Amino acid sequence: MTDQVNPAPRLDNQDPALFGQTPSQTVGPFFHYGLPWKGGADLVGQSDMGARPELFPEEHYVLNLSPPRGAVSGEVIILEGLVTDADGKPAPDAMIEIWQANAAGRYASSDDGFIGFGRASTSEDGLYRFKTVRPGTVPGPGNSQQAPHIAVSVFGRGVIKRLATRVYFEGAPQNAADPILALVPAERRDTLIAREQDGVWRFDIVLQGERETVFFDI
């Protein structure tokens, strides 16, 4: 019977003999300024909406703008809102992504060059802002039609998995028959409704607490 040679102890950060069990951690700090790009929040034009230029040294703010787009059909709108935590404090380092159909209800349509995807950081005051078009209706489960809406993802410190929600538009007649909105308890549906204020569609996002925005398990 031969003697077994004991392997040398591991000397990396996976060796439990060196470090034991480490505590669980949440994501953070969230370096949101490195993710949004110039124009990421402008789905219809060529501005630097979406980025936080004040966080970059001027010589490092060199990202290219999105390529020129053709004329995008439909009603151009501004969508903005405040992202707040459970204590009602603004989240100054969150990132918001949107995905939507164009005015005709088509995603990433080659007809008018509308991509339908956008990304924006929140400001120091927790505010995000997009320039886009008001979407049309899109097919839903079975033969249903979904009301005009914008899919929203929220990223930030402490958020391990993105939070997914939707923006619907106040007054849209299709809201009453939307199959997804119908899944939400009636008393909480208003957290998914954007309301027009002075020509801007306002949609605040509450991460936790009494008025928490409805997030979907997807």
- Please give the full DSSP string across 52-111, using - where no structure is assigned: -GGGS-GGG--PPPPPP--PPPS-EEEEEEEEE-TTS-B-TT-EEEEE-B-TTS-BSBTT
* Consecutive H or E run containing 18: helix 16-19
Structure confidence by residue, pLDDT tens digits, 129-155: 999 999 999 998 888 899 999 999 999
Q: How far apart are the first and last CA of the chain?
A: 57
Question: What is the C-alpha separation between 139 and 132, in angstroms, rounded?
Answer: 21
Mean pLDDT of all residues in 204-211: 93
Question: What is the C-alpha separation between 86 and 159, in angstroms, rounded?
Answer: 13
pTM of the model: 0.82
Structure confidence by residue, pLDDT tens digits, 75-93: 999 999 999 998 899 999 8
Structure confidence by residue, pLDDT tens digits, 104-124: 999 877 777 788 999 999 999
Residue 159, token pair as written in the block: 């958020």
Residue 191, token pair as written in the block: 């957290």
Question: What is the C-alpha separation between 14 and 131, in angstroms, rounded?
Answer: 46
